Structure 1
Amino acid sequence: METENIAVTLDQYKKRPKKKKKNKFLSNAKGFAKQGIYGRGTRIDDDQYNYFINILDAMKNGFEDAEEKVTMANNVLEQTIDQEVHLASNQIVCKVLETLIGFVNAANLERYFTAFADNFRPICSDRFASHVLQKMVEIAFLRALGKNKLRNDVNREKNTAGSKDEPLVKRAKTDGKTISEELYNLETEFNEEHRYNCSQFVLRVSKFLLNNLEDFVWDSCASHIMRTSILSLAGVHVAKGAFEKRGADMAKNQKLYTVPEEWVEVLKEFPQRLEMWPQFSDFPYQEHSSALLGVICISLRATNKQLLKHFGKKILMDSFLKVEQNEDEKEKKIEILDDNDETTENLVAEAAGREGEKIEKASRTNIRLPQVFEYQSAVILLETLLTVAGPKLFTQLYAMLFAGRIALLAREQLTNFLVQKLLLNIKEKDDFENVFTELFNNIEDLLKIGHTGVVEALTAACLRLGTKQAQCIVALQTSLHTPASDKQKAKSFFYCLTKLKPYEVAQNDNSGFVHLHGSLIVQHILNFNKPIFLVNCILETPAEQLVPIFNTPNGSHIVDAFLQSKYIGEKSREKFIRYMEGFYVDLAITKFGSRVVDSCYAAAQESLKARIVKELADKVNMLKGSPFGNLLYSKFRIETYKLSATQWMASLHVNKKQKVDKLFKDIIN
């Protein structure tokens, strides 16, 4: 590689000014270069090293558009001809290739397909080249399918690669990641031959990994490639940020695509082979094998729910129920049949009863619980399984692992998230009522030790399933020392909830702090079938005490729930809007308070809208002195109101009539 060519290739990317923020990785890399250390991994010469350092430097400034990034990507990959694997195994080059390979043309990508296909075994275990191969599988998956294969029957996360109408380029303060790699590969027109080659590459990598499972299941580098391949075979695409989260979070942050039947057939072989291994029962207790099982479960939910049920039972029976005991104390293996006969139900009920008895004994004699609750990797896998399981498998997981031990698990640092996940996904009212009974008397203890997420999840489940709502409010009142029998303390229920502190502590807390889970609990209760007690508490709280609460990011959403709940009457909403009069200016000039004013205005009747605007117009200088107040000044047309209140009111009637006409336009036509 000649230095002159390097200069020509980079010239167009060095014109834009660099960001002032220093890149620690880059500065360290440049420092090591002066010592003759050219990155970890394979050794490259100083010209090549400097070239890729300069590329990283140029990428740091971002790109004006997708075309510029495509040009750079193709130029860079042309500098690696006949050295693809060697260069990809270097730390610096790997970082460049992983970022740019998603934007190269068909010829350059297929050249890498060929070069890597001849060296799969060493590449899969290489700590740098493996990242490039993983990215190649992801890009091949996207190009093989295209945007037409995106399934419309799945709710997709808003924050993944982008929506259909999202532009490829966001020009404001760009960096290299701003241009959506997923969107580019889905929407760019590639010929059928290239799409076929991409499809074959996904299959080729997947079959290689399948045939070498014994070598790669516990390999930290190959495991990531295998997981990406399995998700691809199922038509599941997960953004890299979401891919690095816990398994259950990854199950939510995904998009589903329709894949060829041939891919699905290869996918089925992964769980079928793994469950025959004698080491299968140990898989959940090791990081990489546990993550692999989680990815398989997510993939099976998208392709084969019957196989997921079978595979989930296998994990439950062979692994999750294991308890380390003496030889004479080993429990008998419980078999769950696949059919829906009474024997299965009886076995589940019997197991639940035994587990309930064991947990009481465990709390007294410190007998170890099933291993699944003692290892983080197994807990994450169980969270994933709770998220993807169908009704029958979910009930079996609950009955055999959770029944009788919910309160204990909710108190433990490692397992309280499991209880939250259980509550988030539980669908049967009977099962939930049993869970509620176990937690009912433990809410105060959970608040004391800081496991507020469990209490929030319990309240959310009461709302979602429409049961135990009154009991939930009573339990919270008791836990916060604001019983209904004591009218003075009961009035502070709302204030104590927002801080999740008992009455005695909350009374001395004059800060504006609003607990996130406390705010969510309030919002859930406001949407209960009978939220009147909490509504009265809010309306009896001094307005000057409400303003600091509503001026916070967590507290401002309480107003949305109050004004939008279908179980809160019109009179209560009007009373609330009137109650806040005199404080609208204080709210309007703050970031989150302005949201509250906007919500109140939107929910108010015309006469109340006029009162809000009049209050703001009386202190227009304060309003216009704040960027947030200035927005409301324009939105509410306060200038028009100051000129003529009558004209402003008339415009409200016009706007209302236009909305009605638009609403009934189709019927009228």
Structure 2
Amino acid sequence: MESEINGAVVDNNKRRQKKKKNNSRFLRNAKGFAKQGIYGRGTHIDDDRYNYFINILDVMKNGFEDLEEKVNMANNVFAQTTEEEVHLASNQIVSKALESLIGFVDSENLERFFRAFGDNFRPVCSDRFASHVLQKMVEIAFLRVLGKDSLKNATGNVEGTIETADAPAAKRAKIEVPSFSEESYNLETDFSTEHRHQCSQFVERVSKFLLNNLEDFVWDSCANHIMRTSILSLAGVHVAKVAFEKGGADIAKNRKLYTVPKGWAEVLAEFPQRLEMWPQFPDFPYQEHSSALLGTICIALRATDKQLLKHFGKKILMDAFIKMEQSEEEEEKKQELDKDDKNESKENVNTVQLPKVFEYQSAVILLETLLTVAGAKLFTQLYAMLFSGRISQLAKAQLTNFAVQKLLQNIKEKEDFENVFNELGSDVEELLKIGHTGVVEALSGACLRLGLKQAQCIVALQTALHTPASDKQKAKTFFHCVIKLKPYEVAQTDKSGFVHLHGSLIVQHILRFNKPIFLVNCILETPAEQLATIFNTPNGSHIVDAFLQSKYIGEKSREKLIRHMDGFYVDLAITKFGSRVVESCFAAAQESQKSHIVKELADKVNMLKGTPFGRLLYNKFRVETFRLSATQWKASLHANKEQKVDKLFKDIIN
């Protein structure tokens, strides 16, 4: 769960950089093909028009200064497509431009596209370029129907996502949305009632057309994506199109839930009801497109009809997931094994046979989605029929260890978790050795969330990392071994500043356990210089937050850590991640210790002001005021505190 926080910013940055590179390469290739007389894939367009859309993509790549500029460009571009909407949208270059701008066109242009595409649904749904434009049109029409007041939960966390009191306070990365983002523009712009009605009719019309032609479109890669967008729209679930790249659990995680017109839920319910009657239904999870469609339906039903979700999920489980099929090739392999060495044969015979679901990636992804959205009864059935007795084997397999992680992240019944822990507890060392560190992190996260097996979890990690409590010298290095997820013998030689993401998360979980004193002492006994190096990393900086915010770590221990870092606050303050640590320490410190921190920063003010991160703290902590008068600085600190108290009790006083 918390990995979503620490990894989200890094992942988003990587995606943005990758997207920029891909866009630049795409434009370079497009210009190169134009010189050869090839004007994009798909339908043929003339040289002038091709160059016009290439220039549009170039301008879009550099961004827009304000919303009005983007809206004007969108309307100008769409004006060039009059009476050629479908023909132009079926060209690769034009499709890319239209898809990027359609969210900002006025009602007249969008409705013109509704009419043009509405007369050509069948060819458009299967066209590899025009289908992208249609998919985007459904998304934009859906947003325009809603309006900003229809958002059920502004955090994007719909009912059914697990949240507990014991979980970390900051669970999601805060992502700033530009004021002229596509979603905010379409939700907040005051479109006419007539236009909203047209948008509503378009979403319904596309959905019903796809519903009536399911046999043709379930396995069609282009139409399948439009169908998935339509299904989510009918449920009031908005997922940015980019989330479809990964699918499954990522869609469930990145969704926002809106209130939609009443009749939409009835159209949605027909999709699962029709599909489950097909004789091919048991094969759906084992084919990429049909599996993704089932996953999307499950996410949509979680928001609209939990009873139907339970029925549909059980149908998938009973008809498809629990199959145990053996192909002729597997039979031959088994016969060959019988001829091999007896010991080898015994080893293979002892391996638990897995249900068919665990042999196909598409089916495993669907299972992960079901685990994320399932209610208590369906979840218990999934665990009992698919995982019970097989957890160890599944956790060690490359294809299935992520399903085990999803199981641990969503498991609710304490008895079920105890059984899972008993199966996995002795495998921690092997899981770390083969690189399945995510399973170990999910296991410790579940111990925190459910308040169970916490002491046993620490013992299992100590055993796996060769730092037993009986050996005091080795036990002291437990913190160092966990953040690197390496055993004592290897970690001792590792002097780098590397902090493993899952190692950091495991430390954060343990610090929030009911009795984290062993790890607390390990951290406080670590040299301050080494801690500064750890805290100066993206993964290590979050450890300080967990230490200072844990309700099971006492005031004295927090003070010790803050004092322990004396002499290193300037080194931390001038870096991106270290400055976060300084801010956290300052917020948690007593008044006298706050003075110590600011004095240390004031003594090296030139160094502090030499980086943007240091300058930020210089202004925030009013270091200049401290340099001029420490007494005045303390007085302002008291004034700020009083203002906060006044704000806190303002409503009560009134």
Same fold per superposition (TM over 0.5): yes
Preserved contact between residue 361 and residue 367 of structure 1 (Cα < 8 Å) = no
Q: Decide which of 485, 510, 513 is 2:470's aligned counterpart.
A: 485
Q: In structure 2, how many angstroms separate the alpha carbons of the residues matched to 1:662 and 1:485?
A: 52
Q: Deviations over 1:98-157 (max 9, x none)?
A: 112222222221111111111111111111111111111111111122223222387449
2:589 maps to a residue whose letter is: A
Q: What are the ranges of 5 or more consecutive residues in structure 2 without an aligned counterpart?
A: 1-19, 159-170, 332-344
Q: Which residue in the other structure is 2:280 paired with?
A: 279
Write out aligned runs for 1:148-297 (5 A).
Answer: 148-152=149-153, 155-156=156-157, 168=179, 179-297=180-298
Q: Which residue in the other structure is 1:473 paired with?
A: 458
1:396 and 2:381 matched: yes
Q: Which residue in the other structure is 1:583 paired with?
A: 568
Normalized against structure 1, the TM-score is what?
0.87
The CA deviation at 1:409 is 0.6
Q: Deviations over 1:244-286 (max 9, x none)?
A: 2231111111111112222111111110110011100000000
Q: In structure 2, how many angstroms separate the alpha carbons of the residues matched to 1:278 and 1:162?
A: 44
Write out aligned runs for 1:495-510 (5 A).
Answer: 495-510=480-495
Q: In structure 1, how many angstroms separate the alpha carbons of the residues matched to 2:295 and 2:46?
A: 42
Farther off after superposition, 57-66 or 224-233: 57-66
Q: Deviations over 1:54-77 (max 9, x none)?
A: 222222222222222222222222
Normalized against structure 2, the TM-score is what?
0.89
Q: Which residue in the other structure is 2:49 paired with?
A: 48
Q: Decide which of 408, 412, 417 is 2:393's aligned counterpart.
A: 408
CA spacing shift, 1:120–1:450, aligned 2, 3 Å = same
Q: Which residue in the other structure is 2:435 paired with?
A: 450
Q: Which residue in the other structure is 2:338 paired with?
A: none
Q: In structure 2, how many angstroms separate the alpha carbons of the residues matched to 1:167 and 1:589?
A: 28
Q: What are the ranges of 5 or more consecutive residues in structure 1 without an aligned counterpart?
A: 1-18, 169-178, 331-359
CA spacing shift, 1:431–1:191, aligned 2, 3 Å = same
1:369 maps to a residue whose letter is: L
The CA deviation at 1:214 is 0.6
Q: Decide which of 645, 650, 653 is 1:665's aligned counterpart.
A: 650
CA spacing shift, 1:324–1:390, aligned 2, 3 Å = same
1:559 and 2:541 matched: no
1:312 and 2:297 matched: no
Farther off after superposition, 48-57 or 441-450: 48-57
SS in structure 1 at match of 2:263: helix
Q: Which residue in the other structure is 2:362 paired with?
A: 377
The CA deviation at 1:664 is 2.9
Q: Which residue in the other structure is 2:425 paired with?
A: 440
Write out aligned runs for 1:510-521 (5 A).
Answer: 510-521=495-506
CA spacing shift, 1:70–1:154, aligned 2, 3 Å = closer
Q: Which residue in the other structure is 1:123 paired with?
A: 124
Q: Decide which of 541, 544, 548 is 2:526's aligned counterpart.
A: 541
Q: In structure 2, how many angstroms separate the alpha carbons of the residues matched to 1:22 and 1:87?
A: 20
Preserved contact between residue 161 and residue 239 of structure 1 (Cα < 8 Å) = no
Q: In structure 2, how many angstroms separate the alpha carbons of the residues matched to 1:203 and 1:643?
A: 68
**Between the two proteins, what is the percent identity of the paired residues?**
80
1:495 maps to a residue whose letter is: H
1:654 and 2:633 matched: no
Preserved contact between residue 588 and residue 628 of structure 1 (Cα < 8 Å) = yes
Q: Which residue in the other structure is 1:431 paired with?
A: 416
Preserved contact between residue 156 and residue 255 of structure 2 (Cα < 8 Å) = no
The CA deviation at 1:633 is 2.6
Q: Which residue in the other structure is 2:324 paired with?
A: 323
Q: Considering only CA atoms, is the larger Rg found in Structure 1 or Structure 2?
A: 1
Preserved contact between residue 153 and residue 256 of structure 2 (Cα < 8 Å) = no
Q: In structure 1, how many angstroms separate the alpha carbons of the residues matched to 2:614 and 2:153?
A: 40
Preserved contact between residue 285 and residue 378 of structure 1 (Cα < 8 Å) = yes
2:70 maps to a residue whose letter is: K
Preserved contact between residue 162 and residue 180 of structure 1 (Cα < 8 Å) = no
Preserved contact between residue 156 and residue 257 of structure 2 (Cα < 8 Å) = no
CA spacing shift, 1:159–1:127, aligned 2, 3 Å = farther
SS in structure 2 at match of 1:261: coil
Farther off after superposition, 432-441 or 258-267: 258-267
Write out aligned runs for 1:334-345 (5 A).
Answer: none
Q: Deviations over 1:577-616 (max 9, x none)?
A: 2222222232223222222222112111111112222233
Q: Deviations over 1:272-328 (max 9, x none)?
A: 11001110000000000000000000010111000000000000000001111389x
Q: How many residues align?
A: 609
Preserved contact between residue 352 and residue 390 of structure 2 (Cα < 8 Å) = no
CA RMSD of aligned residues (A): 2.4
The CA deviation at 1:468 is 0.6
The CA deviation at 1:22 is 8.7
SS in structure 2 at match of 1:134: helix
Q: Which residue in the other structure is 1:459 paired with?
A: 444
Q: In structure 2, how many angstroms separate the alpha carbons of the residues matched to 1:572 and 1:66?
A: 51
Q: Which residue in the other structure is 1:624 paired with?
A: 609
CA spacing shift, 1:239–1:514, aligned 2, 3 Å = same
Q: Which residue in the other structure is 2:508 paired with?
A: 523
1:645 maps to a residue whose letter is: A
Q: Which residue in the other structure is 1:595 paired with?
A: 580
Farther off after superposition, 637-646 or 502-511: 637-646
The CA deviation at 1:400 is 0.2
SS in structure 1 at match of 2:515: coil
1:640 and 2:628 matched: no
1:477 maps to a residue whose letter is: Q
Q: In structure 1, how many angstroms separate the alpha carbons of the residues matched to 2:33 and 2:205?
A: 38
CA spacing shift, 1:109–1:155, aligned 2, 3 Å = closer
Preserved contact between residue 550 and residue 596 of structure 1 (Cα < 8 Å) = yes
Q: Which residue in the other structure is 2:336 paired with?
A: none
The CA deviation at 1:661 is 3.0
Q: Which residue in the other structure is 2:558 paired with?
A: 573
Q: Which residue in the other structure is 1:172 paired with?
A: none
The CA deviation at 1:533 is 0.7
Preserved contact between residue 161 and residue 183 of structure 1 (Cα < 8 Å) = no
1:148 maps to a residue whose letter is: D
Q: Deviations over 1:178-226 (max 9, x none)?
A: x311111111122122111111111111111111111110001110111
Q: In structure 2, how many angstroms separate the alpha carbons of the residues matched to 1:272 and 1:161?
A: 38
Q: Deviations over 1:455-487 (max 9, x none)?
A: 111111110001111110111111111111111
Q: In structure 1, how many angstroms separate the alpha carbons of the residues matched to 2:244 and 2:288?
A: 15
Q: In structure 1, how many angstroms separate the alpha carbons of the residues matched to 2:44 and 2:625?
A: 71
CA spacing shift, 1:116–1:315, aligned 2, 3 Å = same
1:98 maps to a residue whose letter is: E
